[in-house]
Homo-oligomer: A and B are copies of this chain.
Amino acid sequence: MSSEELNTRTRILEATWKLLEQQPNKDVSMSAIARATGITRQAVYLHFASRTELMIATTEYVDEVKGLYQRMERIGAASSGIEMLEAYVDVWGNYIPEIYGIARALLRVKETDEAAAAAWFRCMDCLRDVSKQIIETLEQEDKLTNALSPPDAIDMLLVMLSIEQWELLTRDCGWSHQKYVNEMKKLLVQSFVS
């Protein structure tokens, strides 16, 4: 039964993803998604109960396809805190542009929808774990700055590498993606390593 059903579902997810990548700052409508999928608007609701649910599902779909967690393994393999930090910036900094469209959409929807906020914070929690791992490694090596306590350093690292921050630097300040990665590495080492 579900081969065909899954197919349509996946086609909706792909269309949503594609539209969001094309116009990350527009509110892509259910009609536009249906049109891009080649079905009616009502049919979308046969697969996703609401716009929010579709956005959450698309986020999960993209995460699955793009395999962030696999890429993150590089970080644990690094042999020092500084190397971990740099690997983090590399992996994450290269990941953001690939998921920016859907991430922006989820960020917008999160403001008014609890389920979306929960989904967003689930993602944030994963990133926080990575951040924590790095700060703790730096601390064990006695290389963590004493300007910040370890818990505060975890928060700060997370926020420094947030999508919002990336957006400000690349969109508003005109930094290239490569410049973001390079400068961010330098700044983070300067900020967190004593």
Contact = CB atoms under 8 A, between A and B. Distances in A.
Interface of A: 25-27, 108, 111-112, 121, 124, 145, 147-148, 152, 155-156, 158-160, 162, 164-165, 168-169, 172-173, 175, 183, 186-187, 189-191
Contact of A190 (B147, B172, B175, B186): B147
B175 A168 contact: no
A132 to B, nearest CB: 13
Nearest to A175: B155
Contacts of A160: 160
Chain A interface main SS type = helix
Given A26-B112, A165-B164, A165-B165, A173 B148 contact: no
Contacts of A147: 186-187, 189-190
A187 B156 CA distance: 9
B148 A187 contact: yes
Given A152-B183, A187-B147, A112 B172 contact: no
Contacts of A164: 162, 164-165, 168
Contacts of A168: 159, 162, 164
Given A159-B165, A165-B159, A173-B155, A112 B25 contact: yes
Contacts of A156: 169, 183, 187
A73 B19 CA distance: 46
Cβ-closest 9 pairs across A and B:
A147-B190, A155-B173, A191-B191, A164-B164, A147-B186, A159-B168, A25-B111, A152-B183, A145-B190
